[in-house]
Amino acid sequence: MVLDVEEAGALLGIGRTNAYRMVRRGQFPTRVIRIGGQWRVPTADLLHLLGLAPPTPAPDPDTDPPRSGLSLVNPDLDVKDLT
């Protein structure tokens, strides 16, 4: 998702004229993308700048492989089977 420069600037407390001036000078505090004839600010970049980036989802043990070299514990394993 993206916002226009005016919306992104307003969220940062920057007026419309200064926001576009910063874009032209390469000084806008986030990435700005030109789409057609319009400047757009990626929402994710703006959220990250504001410290509001969504948390990364926890891995799903049923679909995501373990990140270490260890395998997942079998939940059906009974401790008595180990002795």
As a whole number, the mean pLDDT across the chain is: 82
Mean pLDDT across the stretch 62-83?
57
CB atoms within 10 A of CB 34: 9
**43 three-class SS:** helix
**pLDDT digit string (tens) for 24-60?**
999 999 999 999 999 999 999 999 999 987 667 777 7
Q: How far is CA 64 from CA 58, 67, 72, 75, 79, in A?
A: 10, 9, 11, 16, 26
Helices (H), the chain: 5-11, 16-25, 43-49
Strand 38-42 and strand 2-4: the pairing is antiparallel
**pLDDT digit string (tens) for 9-23?**
999 999 999 999 999
Beta strands in 1-83 (DSSP E): 2-4, 33-35, 38-42
63 vs 15, more confident: 15
